[in-house]
Structure 1
Amino acid sequence: MLLLLLCACAGRCEDSPPKYETATPINNVVQDPRTGRIYLGAVNAIYQLDSALQFQHKAMTGPKLDSRHCTPPIPPTCQDAKQTDSINKLLLVHETNGSLVVCGTLFKGLCSLVNLSNIENQVYYSDGKGEKTYVASIEESVSVVGVMSTFPEKDDNTPVFLVAKGYGSQDSAKLISTRILQDYKDLVVFENIAEASSVQANPFVLKYLHNFRLAFREGSFVYFVFSRTMGSTDNKNFTFISRLCEKDIHYYSYTELQLNCGPENTYNKVQTAYLASPGKKLAQHLTRSSKYGKVEPWDKVLFAVFSDDEDSVSSALCMYPLKAINKALEDLIGACYGTQGKINSQMAVYPPYISVTGFCSTTQPELAAKNPCGADFLTSPLASTPEFALKAPAVHEKKGLLTAVAVAVENDHTVAFLGTSKGEVYRVHLSNTSAAYGSVLGESTGSSVNKNLFFDTSQNYLYITTAQKITKLPVQECHLKTTCEACMKQNDPYCGWCVLEGKCSTMSDCKGANVTNGWLWSPDQQCVEIKSFVPPNMSSRKTQQVEISVPSLPVIEDGRLQCKFGSFSESNAVMERSMITCALPEPAQIPPTPDKQDYVEVPVKIFVDGKVEVAAGTYNFYNCRAAMRKAENTPCMSCVSSNWGCQWNIHNHTCSDNDRSIDGAHIVKPQQGASCPLFEDQVPSLIPVGYKTPIRFKGKNLDGYKDKKLKIGTELMKHTEEPVVSEGGSQFRFDGYEFAYDKDQTVDVFFYVKDKDTDKKIDSTLNVTLYNCSLGREDCSLCKNADPKYQCVWCDRTQSCVYLPPAQLPHLASTYSFCYIVKLKQCQVSPRYGPLRGGILVTIKGSNLGIRKQDITRITVAGVPCVHQLDRYSVSTSVVCEAGPVDPAKPHSGVVEVVVEGDKKGTSIVSFTYRDPKPEKVQPDKGPKAGGTVITISGTNLDTATKEDLNITTFGSEITCKVGEYRPVKVPSDPLPVMVKYGKHTGMEVPRAFQFHENPKVERHFPDSSFVCGGRVIVVTGTGFDLIQKASMRVLHSATEDCPNLPNHIEPLQDAFSKNDTVLQFLSPAVNGSSQIHCLRAYIFLDNVRNELRPFNYHSDPIFDELTKKVITESSIISVTGKGFSKAMTAPEAKAFVGDVECQVTTLQDDRLFLDPPSTQPKARSKRQRRDTSSDLLELLIKFGNGEWVVGSVHYERKYEVPLPIIIPCVVIPMLLIIAISVYCYRRKSQQAEREYEKVKHQLENLEESVRDRCKKEFT
């Protein structure tokens, strides 16, 4: 198990970017340019990683016993000394002696030197040298920057570093200092070697609030980028860059230049900056702007990100060529030497930190050239006045806060990588119109990207640091795009389409990139395309060669090109200039023409070396035979009007390819549809259902059908066809059909005409409208409202609307009705109750209620006039009126009457009653001031009027409605009355019924992430939740600059499943994983109160690998691999099932998790497991919230269990046999031993007898 855990710690997904996470927040990051090693300065620790972010060494820097009030080393007598965290303030690579400068907040800001090869080996540290060696700040919020330099001493350069830091209440007052890195004369390591009171004195540091963001060395100068105030009371920040001569130990040359970003210095506070070369294209753009003079590709440009000073809701990127900065600084110094600080008669220079008169009083211009690094008579720093700030336009703007910038040049184009306060990094192509492109790098973690954003030594990877993690990501992902279109869509300056290799790559990774059109740059948005074909199309009955124009194809040698049509024809191709000649497929190979089409599209692909597709398109093979079928009733016109130049043969009724050799009156040539035989101009054009109506029509161009018998038909009558009768000349008729149709009031009927002998269709545009009077006209008024052209009338006998033939008009009065009877439908008066003061709308439904709104002459309810609402009238079926007030002394109940023009009256069966409602009680009686509380009002007669009259949620014996927002300041409010309004004039009040309280407050939430599958338990804590009736978690799409609106976006929502006054619990809603998940924002809705959960991030669902170890043994653990596990899940939350038995997830890492399977094999399988699978196999299911993944099937190791009756004989019998054999062997051995004993005994006796006899003989 230990071995598995070790393997898990070392395991990585192949496509997972290198990253390293620290236990504490990261403050600073630096890279050793020689080795590529990365050093992280974090709280209480320094980390050493290799270039792949593999851990090498770690040095602890805290916590240690320290006190702000005691001088290090901290003595035992220091009373307020306590264990204090060490926050890293500065990391610098000291290449000369292979050490790393490390400065932190402990011990007054002391520094140390550690070995670059192994930071655990300390090169130098001393805490007993006193205040002169205090370098950094003890306060976390104070910014500190530094840069390596040298101090010229005779013929030797002594290594030093310059440090700039803001104000700290208990720090040294040195704004800028030069610290030595080796003992020198009387100076010790880290002691300040330069004394310059102008920037190392007390009075100014607190007043100006310096915030240093970058220090760098270029040429013979050292630069610092920072923001500060002007020392006035408004505390508005301005951005400056200051410059020092590297050899100026007295800081005489210290000069500040104000940098303005955006119009009117909109973005006034610098966040960070990056120095890089602009590249050829951007240099040309800067030169053309004529603001900075000529800028060369190898010059240096300062790329800085700024924010507005107020609330940092917007940011921008601005660029300043270093040449322009230096020129502006030299102009300031020259003005001070030669023109009393003025440029063009306007004051350009002032002393920023002191108030003196006669400053810059000299008029000796030559001094500037003689003393480029100042002189001792310039005793104070210089600064530009606001009017002479160096101004730059915002080349890129963004809502939100930018916190990091890094710039790289690829193929003469410049790309800026911008980090945000949300933990994302995106890319901007800097050009004439700078724009962001591609996907977002990094993760939206909610923590800012560290300002130390930089590339690896190859410039191919970017190191992104957030709160406790550093990640190494490629600057481009060209290879992930597999088509030219996808490659172009990126707009990535790094990428292009490698034509002859058929891949998206960088230029350096494309072998044919040096050939014209061999590598197509992504921002150009141009793939290799087939521009045209010669001929543009071909008959499916012919074949020949085709010339294909491909302008953007590189020159390719003969023998390497092939053309492929579909999957059925392939041939070699020849290229001449940009034209490729290929052989078309044989007619037999061409696919059949699809239905409803007269051509077939065949894919055309051009290959290099038979495997790399370089261009694709479609070629059309047309079929004139199919062209005549596109419009079945007009085959001739369909044929000759097609795009393919087809001709029509009247004699044989065929459509064929245009053939100039065939001519005659029976041939209709292409685009001559007016010469086609045609039947048209039918009379009448309206036909009623159920009546056989003769139809007359005309014919033209019918010379080819003289003496032919014709017939007519329509699809509506299926196979019933009628003869066509010629009336002479161009006039024809047929007797018509008696149609039956009841699906719609009207329908268009198209007729075809055929040659009776050949059954071939002749072109016909005959079309009539069939109509049904009875459909949708159920009463007399609706019938009378029909369009007069239909000749519909109401029949009293059949009580239906019917068509009346003109011949029956004289009998109209005796048979057909003029709609005398007005009928009101039973129970169709709504509402049936109204307040005594009226003012409510009453809807009355019936029939024959007129055909115009003006037909309604009078309406009464319970004998009270009711005002007709003309705008809500529906023909014949419905009227709406506003009830008037009733005299309390008169009867309050009665029928509803409607009088229609002609004094025709209808009376309702049901009654309308006047009564006043009496609301009495309100529940609940309190809610938040934001409103949204749904209250229920109970009482007597509350179901008076209608729901619309009250504008409420639920209407009946109890009334339900939602409370609005309470705007007065006093909270909680006094008990307030609840007013129920019925219509315009009636309001009933419940006194002291409801009280508003403070809105609920959300204080914190955890966890702060979820997978897109949702289902993770989110706990929200706060106060006042008992007031809330409905708490829900909703996910909205943030419509920002980089998150455009999504059409038809559904807002996922989950209601709280647990609630009390201080804690809410939700299951995170599932969201669409294909949408832009970095644009999703999570909100808690508490009735009308809305709170955004910050931070809260959605992550793509994890990916699980197929399970490799599938056998479960005793005491074994299961290891599941994949990636993205820990982004939004922990081991206690994760669930795993073997079969239907849950097992514990013991360890969860980002790319691996471990779980303990059940000790015995589960008897039941998973419900989703198929019954036809092996009974021994059990599904292993991993569940993260709503997401479920079956990662494989497992089975338990077989154990052969023998029944006890078999075990006993199998054990006892061999045991008895062994004992018997042992006894037998023992008896054999014992008998043999006795025989041997007797034998020896006899031998001894014989020997004894022999010796005795010998002795006797010798003695005698």
Structure 2
Amino acid sequence: MRGYLLGILVVPLLKHCICGDVVNFDGDIKDFVVGKSKLFVLTDHRLHQMRLDLSEEKRKDITNATHQYRVNILVPFDDNDTLITCGTFRDGYCEVLDLNDITKSIYDQSISVGPKQNDKSVAFIAGPSTDRYLLVGKKDEETKPQDPYPVVKLWNTLQSQIGGIFNIEEGSTPSIQSTARDVEFVDGFQRVSSLYLFLNAQTDSGRKVQVLWMDSNKRKKTELFESLQSATIECCNDKARPVLVASTVIPSGNGVIWAGVFSAQDQQDPENTALALYDISAVRGRVKGFCNTGEKCDSESGSNLQPLSVVFKYSSMSSVAAVRSGSWIVLFIGTSDGQLIKLMLDEKFTPGCPIVLYKSDDERAVLPRMHFVPVDFKYIYIALRKEIRRVSVVQCAKYSSLKDCRAALDPLCGWCVNTQRCSNQDECSKWMSTPKNSLQEPLVSFQAWDDKSSRKVTLHLALSLESTGNPAFSCSFTTGSVNLCDGSDLTAVFPNCSCRFTDQLLYTGDLNVSAIVAVEDQKVTETLTLRNCSNITNNSPNPSYTQCVQCVSSGCQWFFSSQHCDWKHGPGPQLHAQDACKDLFSNMDYKEPEILSLEPNKVSFHGRNNVLLRGRNLESVTKIHIQGDLDCIPKESPVFNRSRDTLRFHIPPSGTKGTGKVCVVTPDDRCHGNSIITYSSQPSCTGIQPTVSWWSGGRKINVQGSNMEFVESVIFHNSAPKRLQTQYNLSSGDVWFHSPENNNYYGSSSSLSFRLNVGNSTVDCEHLFYELDPRFTLFTTLQLGNDLQVNIKKMVDALNLSLSEVNVTGLQGDQQYHCVLENIESKAVICNIKGESGAVTAVDSLNIRVGKKIIFRTGDRPAYLVFFSIVFSLICLFFILIFCILISIFRV
């Protein structure tokens, strides 16, 4: 009885797995919404009510033995403490549930509100505060093409409204109509007194993204629809992206800033999707194909909306959400390859470094809708197929020092002097963080200039930090164990400090300087090499582009009029060497390297070893740069094998999925070429076939799974680990290798575990079991015309040998005959020797090869037969001796 009760308690818990901030459901997630302090998740068969910590409170089945009620509208009505659900059951069905207990039904009605098929729709609570409606935007499946059909309707949400709940009429049936051949609603929301709907429409001139605007202050539905304005949204200048994938409104004090993900619908394009920002506060005009009830839909006026800024491009963005923090805009981007990316924008919409908050091991797409925890916006909920995750939007705590905290390139993270840890600002009173418009600047930067009148060199250091208080601040500069500056020539006022020293220290050569900056309890140490700028080209009669780059990279200034390098005359902006010297480069007689191909050009995010680059003029290449689409700083990889037209190098791990641009670097620090490499998920091993090998090894083992082409080798873990190279079958997608010999004790079954080697990482796979080598005993022959059938007896084993794994050769004197295998049974192997040039009547012995090793030669009799022969001979000899002794005794 206790076991029965335990089952009742445990089984419901196993319906979905709760593992920290993740929940796995037993069906695909169709939609999820956040209302007040609840999270509502809709799957194929159930509606789940959950707390914000992802623990389940209630569930409601939407399927029974007789019918399936498919919910396609899920809208929380917070002001009324209800949850509105509508779906398809017979002609349609809507139900109003208690927001705090979804098992309690407040009202239900048979009515068609949402789409009947799997088309996208948009639904949310809209209208003035005195009259709240359910706005639904959907395609009408029953209307003939080119005829105006309703696509937007307003439904009552309360019985007190005219006509009662779920009524749409006010004497007539008001709606927004369309004549477009295909309409797909993507998003919609109400912002103060404005209603916005965003959709994809198939028009006579092609696919377009359009926005519909209405005045939500209008109390009557007819008046609200009569306020309709619309416009076409265009993206982008580099290429047409006519399909809207997802969108979000960005909280803003002035105007309405909206972000949309646009797609070119080319999955092979590394910049297939673009994220662009628009000011939609003044949508004016009309687009052809949309009108109010009773109007003609063929008029068009106004202008198309152009982006304020295109802030991010990626191969497969699938969703977007946004919050504000002071002057910063924080965008959260979901991707079709299972990543959640955080992107910061400054007040000029300049993007910072993308930060990957979450990355799935497989290719599950992030669903288009994402929601924040409504209390403090410190977490965001994302859905991936059957999984809901709660991801922290601020991950400051993992950075243990000021330097690491600033290097995270997240303006929401700063160093808290009070608590001596990396945190967000609302947890701290004295907080050091990234200054505005400084996302791309390093934490520490240097400048040096020469004051020729005083024969002094000034070294200036600046920290890219701002503080809410006045932190204690000091600097020191040393060369070797000697202080570079005395007290009078050293100044430090947060966040800058300067050091002046005599230029005689640079006459004998380069000067290595160590700078130590102390900010409260945190110390940052940086090293740099100071060069005498005037010596860089003094000894060179022909200044070149390379020398100019060397000059500017050393913090000096190149003077084009005199073609020489010298000190700067004072502080100023630091120029990029390639930009400062570009005029010299154009005059060079220079054979630029070219990249023709990369093999392979698709790798796991763990990287890849021994990649082959083919091209031209590659002999001068010093290193490779790989700039990922989520990287601010390119990764470098040395060249370890080169020729004029090929290079070999290792692709370092990316840490993210997506694409990277590969270029080759020459000694002048220029990067040439722009080849694309794609980072995908790591391989996943699902099994091997066969699962057992014979002891001596050499059996072909196929490894099944996904992304197997990224596997470089397999590593067996035993007393002497072995790394075996693999081969990839393009047609089947399998990796295969030959099993190693088992060095363990020969004579019993055992197993060896192995892993898949991917770049500099490994992925768990399977155990390979071992059995004794196949054992063959005797053979007989049977004449069949000119052919000779050979029947070989074998011991029963668990190897399940295939015909391709066994090779039999018959030996007759100096002649060898290939025996064609016909069948392998548990106790026998049958093969035929073809008598093509005459009858084959007999063979003296057989060679049987299994895999790569001859494990049986009948001319050498099996070991156990030799043993029995020796024992039998000894016994016979013993009896003969006894017999001789007895005869001798009787004769006597």
TM-score by length of 1: 0.37
* Residue 441 of structure 2 corresponds to residue 525 of structure 1: yes
For residue 237 of structure 1, the aligned residue among 193, 207, 216 is 207
Equivalent in the alignment of 1:273:
247
For residue 145 of structure 1, the aligned residue among 114, 122, 136 is 122
CA displacement at 1:194 relative to structure 2: 4.8
For residue 22 of structure 1, the aligned residue among 14, 21, 25 is 25
In terms of fraction of residues, the more strand-rich structure is 2
Please give the residue correspondences for 1:753-764 in structure 2 after superposition, counting only pairs within 5 Å: none
Please give the residue correspondences for 1:758-797 in structure 2 after superposition, counting only pairs within 5 Å: none
Indicate conservation of the 8 Å contact 1:464/1:472, yes or no: yes
Equivalent in the alignment of 1:187:
163
For residue 104 of structure 2, the aligned residue among 116, 121, 124 is 121
CA displacement at 1:151 relative to structure 2: 6.7
Q: What's the RMSD between the two structures over aligned residues?
A: 5.8
* Residue 160 of structure 2 corresponds to residue 160 of structure 1: no
For residue 313 of structure 2, the aligned residue among 389, 393, 398 is 398
SS across alignment from 1:62: coil
CA displacement at 1:50 relative to structure 2: 1.3
For residue 225 of structure 1, the aligned residue among 190, 198, 209 is 198
User: Which letter maps to 1:134?
Assistant: S
Taking the aligned partners of 1:323 and 1:455, their CA distance within structure 2 comes to 24
- The one-character-per-residue Cα deviations of 1:783-823 (angstroms, maximum 9, x if unpaired) are xxxxxxxxxxxxxxxxxxxxxxxxxxxxxxxxxxxxxxxxx
Equivalent in the alignment of 1:322:
280
Indicate conservation of the 8 Å contact 1:301/1:320, yes or no: yes
**Structure 1: unaligned runs, 5 residues or longer:** 66-82, 128-132, 279-296, 333-348, 354-373, 536-545, 583-596, 621-1034, 1074-1082, 1094-1127, 1138-1260
SS across alignment from 2:429: coil
Taking the aligned partners of 1:308 and 1:176, their CA distance within structure 2 comes to 27
Taking the aligned partners of 2:410 and 2:306, their CA distance within structure 1 comes to 29
Counterparts in 2 of 1:116 and 1:248: CA distance versus 1, 3 Å: same
CA displacement at 1:1043 relative to structure 2: 3.6
Counterparts in 2 of 1:242 and 1:530: CA distance versus 1, 3 Å: closer
User: Which letter maps to 1:245?
Assistant: D
SS across alignment from 2:306: strand
Taking the aligned partners of 2:268 and 2:87, their CA distance within structure 1 comes to 28
Equivalent in the alignment of 1:467:
385
Taking the aligned partners of 1:410 and 1:558, their CA distance within structure 2 comes to 23
CA displacement at 1:144 relative to structure 2: 1.8
* Residue 58 of structure 2 corresponds to residue 57 of structure 1: yes
Counterparts in 2 of 1:492 and 1:87: CA distance versus 1, 3 Å: farther
Equivalent in the alignment of 2:304:
389
Equivalent in the alignment of 1:899:
none
Please give the residue correspondences for 1:629-1028 in structure 2 after superposition, counting only pairs within 5 Å: none
Indicate conservation of the 8 Å contact 2:370/2:383, yes or no: yes
Indicate conservation of the 8 Å contact 1:111/1:125, yes or no: yes
For residue 395 of structure 2, the aligned residue among 477, 489, 492 is 477
User: Which letter maps to 1:148?
Assistant: I
Counterparts in 2 of 1:385 and 1:527: CA distance versus 1, 3 Å: same
CA displacement at 1:211 relative to structure 2: 0.6
For residue 372 of structure 2, the aligned residue among 428, 451, 455 is 455
Indicate conservation of the 8 Å contact 1:534/1:548, yes or no: no
Indicate conservation of the 8 Å contact 1:21/1:468, yes or no: yes
Counterparts in 2 of 1:532 and 1:402: CA distance versus 1, 3 Å: closer
SS across alignment from 1:229: strand
SS across alignment from 1:96: helix
Taking the aligned partners of 1:551 and 1:1037, their CA distance within structure 2 comes to 31
User: Which letter maps to 1:302?
Assistant: W
Equivalent in the alignment of 2:618:
none
Equivalent in the alignment of 2:34:
31
- The one-character-per-residue Cα deviations of 1:937-988 (angstroms, maximum 9, x if unpaired) are xxxxxxxxxxxxxxxxxxxxxxxxxxxxxxxxxxxxxxxxxxxxxxxxxxxx
Taking the aligned partners of 1:1041 and 1:466, their CA distance within structure 2 comes to 18
* Residue 422 of structure 2 corresponds to residue 513 of structure 1: no
Indicate conservation of the 8 Å contact 1:255/1:383, yes or no: no
SS across alignment from 1:473: strand
CA displacement at 1:527 relative to structure 2: 2.2
Taking the aligned partners of 1:551 and 1:264, their CA distance within structure 2 comes to 38
For residue 616 of structure 1, the aligned residue among 506, 525, 534 is 525
* Residue 332 of structure 2 corresponds to residue 411 of structure 1: no
* Residue 258 of structure 2 corresponds to residue 258 of structure 1: no
Indicate conservation of the 8 Å contact 2:378/2:393, yes or no: yes
Equivalent in the alignment of 1:1066:
704
Equivalent in the alignment of 1:753:
none
User: Which letter maps to 1:269?
Assistant: V
Counterparts in 2 of 1:405 and 1:198: CA distance versus 1, 3 Å: same
SS across alignment from 2:439: helix
Taking the aligned partners of 1:447 and 1:484, their CA distance within structure 2 comes to 36
TM-score by length of 2: 0.51
Counterparts in 2 of 1:490 and 1:568: CA distance versus 1, 3 Å: same
CA displacement at 1:105 relative to structure 2: 2.6
For residue 186 of structure 2, the aligned residue among 194, 213, 223 is 213
Counterparts in 2 of 1:1065 and 1:169: CA distance versus 1, 3 Å: farther
Counterparts in 2 of 1:17 and 1:561: CA distance versus 1, 3 Å: farther
Taking the aligned partners of 1:476 and 1:1136, their CA distance within structure 2 comes to 44
Please give the residue correspondences for 1:285-300 in structure 2 after superposition, counting only pairs within 5 Å: 297-300=253-256
Taking the aligned partners of 1:518 and 1:407, their CA distance within structure 2 comes to 20
Q: What percent of counterpart residues are identical? A: 15
CA displacement at 1:454 relative to structure 2: 2.3
Please give the residue correspondences for 1:70-149 in structure 2 after superposition, counting only pairs within 5 Å: 83-84=67-68, 86-127=69-110, 133-139=111-117, 141-149=118-126
- The one-character-per-residue Cα deviations of 1:977-1022 (angstroms, maximum 9, x if unpaired) are xxxxxxxxxxxxxxxxxxxxxxxxxxxxxxxxxxxxxxxxxxxxxx
Q: Aligned residues, how many?
A: 554
User: Which letter maps to 2:108?
Assistant: Y
Greater RCO (Cα-Cα under 8 Å, separation 6 or more): 2
CA displacement at 1:101 relative to structure 2: 0.7
CA displacement at 1:99 relative to structure 2: 0.7
Counterparts in 2 of 1:1129 and 1:308: CA distance versus 1, 3 Å: same
Taking the aligned partners of 2:323 and 2:313, their CA distance within structure 1 comes to 20
SS across alignment from 1:479: helix
Indicate conservation of the 8 Å contact 2:231/2:302, yes or no: no
Taking the aligned partners of 2:653 and 2:446, their CA distance within structure 1 comes to 43
Indicate conservation of the 8 Å contact 1:530/1:616, yes or no: no
SS across alignment from 1:119: strand
Taking the aligned partners of 2:106 and 2:61, their CA distance within structure 1 comes to 15
Indicate conservation of the 8 Å contact 1:226/1:240, yes or no: yes
Indicate conservation of the 8 Å contact 2:309/2:349, yes or no: no
Indicate conservation of the 8 Å contact 2:317/2:336, yes or no: yes
Counterparts in 2 of 1:158 and 1:414: CA distance versus 1, 3 Å: closer
Counterparts in 2 of 1:1085 and 1:116: CA distance versus 1, 3 Å: same
CA displacement at 1:138 relative to structure 2: 2.6
Taking the aligned partners of 1:452 and 1:614, their CA distance within structure 2 comes to 43
**Structure 2: unaligned runs, 5 residues or longer:** 452-456, 500-507, 530-651, 666-676, 692-700, 714-725, 736-761, 770-892
Indicate conservation of the 8 Å contact 1:409/1:415, yes or no: yes
